[in-house]
Amino acid sequence: MLMTCAHCGREFSATNLNRKYCCNSCNVLASYARNGRPAERAEARKRFAADAKKLGAARLAEAKKQIATEAKKLATVRKKAITTKDLLLT
Ligand SMILES: [Zn+2]
């Protein structure tokens, strides 16, 4: 059966009607066209990982700041409590 390659448009004879491409390189190139080249995909993955890491670091810094603020509040409350107790005892 004569078919037309979905990538290069060349006619080819196929015994399997499920075939879309004339050769393996057209199959691979069509896949790159759909999904990007492996190097580009790796680059995109790396960028995403870096962004995720940055976001994680920002969240961690925010959490540390909150904890520090809470600790400071707690220290102030404790100090006040001690002063009040001292006043009551004297
Ligand atoms: Zn082809």
Residue of 21, 20, 3 whose CA lies nearest to 12: 3
Provide block-wise average pLDDT over 10 residues at a time, the chain (90 residues). Answer: 96 93 96 90 92 93 94 89 76
Calculate how far, in angstroms, residue 34's C-alpha sits from the geometric centre of ligand 1. 15
Q: Do 38 and 29 contact (CB within 8 A), yes or no?
A: no
Calculate how far, in angstroms, residue 62's C-alpha sits from the geometric centre of ligand 1. 54
Calculate how far, in angstroms, residue 38's C-alpha sits from the geometric centre of ligand 1. 20
Calculate how far, in angstroms, residue 18's C-alpha sits from the geometric centre of ligand 1. 14
In this predicted structure, what is the pLDDT of residue 89? 74
Query: The pTM is what?
Result: 0.49
In this predicted structure, what is the pLDDT of residue 90? 66
